[in-house]
Chain A
Amino acid sequence: MAYENPSEYINHHLTNLTYGRHPDLGWKLAESGSEAAEMGFMSIHVDSMMWSIGLGALFLFLFWRAGRKATSDQPGGFQNAIEMILEFIDDTVKQVFHGKTGPLGPIALTIFMWVLLMNSMKLVPVDLVPFTLEQFGVGYQKIAPTTNPNVTLGMATFVLMMVVYYSFKVKGFGFIKELCFTPFNHWLFIPVNLFMELVGLLSKPLSLGLRLFGNMYAGEMIFILIALMFSAGFLLWPLAGGLQFIWAVFHILVVSLQAFIFMVLTVVYIAMAHEDH
């Protein structure tokens, strides 16, 4: 690999393929991290978007096909596997959310499977896809979308939107009243209450997104460091290989656990939106 030093290698691995409007150069693919940074908000991480949409579409396609062929007679192996996941999600949702779950099941399923697939991309060796694509002239590639805070915070924001939607749907105007008059039930305290409630409201999805991002980013970082060990001479290869294996095995747990946590917390937040203080 043609990297001058480890820090360049790491930086390269942590840079997204970015398309955006450069202040001086107009709309283009960023050719370096600094160029991408100069683009500011008016840019998009092509790799994150493509991988996340691709993986989400894969999940939806597989489940949709299973649903189309679904029979109430003896299910085949694939349908069995899908139904196992569905039942697991449905049970979890029903444990957290009492009452008619409505669209909560599909929401939880989408979150769980999508995040799981996106996280799983970390188990692909760090250099495999970026290096291959580099041969075709694609400079940067981060294949695990959840190591991108834009992705996780975007999802968390959608969760926030759902929480606000359900709060209004269930409580109507009472939601505003709740924001203004708890915990101190006096009109003088409205600004204080509003501030505290809004912080509480916003902190939930923020922590949701940052938790997922933090776990995935840290894991990715370790993978990159282990990969770096391979370039430190073949004497270290067995050690690096062993470490990578152990870390990957450990990460199978982290990957699924984080997906599960994201899903459960989303359901919990939406369930809380249904309850009065």
Chain B
Amino acid sequence: MNFNLTFIGQIITFGVFVWFCARFVWPPLMQAMQERQKKIADGLNAADRAAKDLELAQDNAAEKLREAKEQAASIVEQANRRASKIVEEAKADARAEGDRLRKATQEEIEHERNQAREALRAQVAVLALAGAEKVVDASVDEKVHNEMLQKLASEL
């Protein structure tokens, strides 16, 4: 175990190994590790951003939902108002129509009554004439007394 060339050989070997390691071994491994670190960091950032986005979206959705509800409520209210208005209108129309019908009917009734009265009047005149003829027992000259009879009939 003496001191010899092994010493020199070892120095050279060591130097070559260090050179090889620094040239071919260390850089790719370190690079891969650093790349992965960066990827993980990016991934975490993206996750953070996504969480924030999600929160934002949820807020947005809640807002939209609230708006929609409000809108729906207002639409329903409007519809209700409209419906009651239509009902009112219909009621008014019906009332008017009813009035109109009643009026027409009344007029008709009046008209009928007048007609009936006229007819009756005419009959009464004849009857009265006949009655008077019987009472007077004389022939009443229709032509002479017509005027008087007319007057009588109109008073009935």
Contact = CB atoms under 8 A, between A and B. Distances in A.
A18 B1 CA distance: 9
A157 B25 contact: no
Interface string B29-58: 111110110110000000000000000000
A20 B9 CA distance: 13
> Majority SS of interface residues in chain B?
helix
Contact of A67 (B1, B24, B36): B24
Contacts of A110: 14, 17-18, 21
A45 B4 contact: yes
Q: Which of B2, B15, B18 has the largest count of A CB atoms less than 10 A from its CB?
A: B2
A36 B29 contact: no
28 contacts: A14-B1, A36-B2, A40-B2, A42-B4, A43-B5, A44-B5, A48-B6, A49-B6, A49-B9, A49-B13, A56-B13, A56-B17, A67-B25, A68-B28, A70-B28, A70-B29, A72-B38, A103-B18, A106-B22, A109-B21, A109-B26, A110-B14, A148-B6, A150-B3, A151-B10, A153-B10, A154-B7, A155-B10
Say which size band chain B's interface belongs to: 20 to 34
A63 interface: yes
B25 A60 contact: yes
Q: Which of B15, B20, B26 has the largest count of A CB atoms less than 10 A from its CB?
A: B26
Nearest to B5: A44
Contacts, number: 138
B144 interface: no
Contacts of B38: 72
Interface of B: 1-11, 13-15, 17-18, 20-22, 24-33, 35-36, 38-39
Given A106-B22, A154-B11, A60 B28 contact: no
Contact of A41 (B4, B15, B30): B4
Contacts of B28: 67-68, 70
A149 B33 contact: no
B7 A150 contact: yes
A158 B19 CA distance: 12
A72 B10 contact: no
Interface residues of A, number: 53
A39 interface: yes
Nearest to B20: A60
Interface of A: 14-16, 18, 20, 36-37, 39-45, 48-49, 52-53, 56, 60, 63-64, 66-68, 70-73, 75, 79, 82-83, 86-87, 90, 103, 105-107, 109-110, 114, 148-151, 153-155, 157-158, 161
Given A63-B29, A64-B25, A86-B30, A16 B1 contact: yes
Contacts of A56: 13, 17
Given A67-B25, A70-B28, A158 B15 contact: yes
Contacts of A107: 18, 21-22
Contacts of A148: 1, 6
Contact of B14 (A60, A73, A154): A154
Nearest to B9: A49
A149 B1 contact: yes
B38 to A, nearest CB: 8
Contacts of B3: 41, 149-150
Contact of B9 (A37, A87, A154): A154
A67 B29 contact: yes
A143 to B, nearest CB: 15
Contacts of A44: 4-6, 9
A41 B3 CA distance: 6
Contacts of B29: 63, 66-67, 70, 82-83, 86
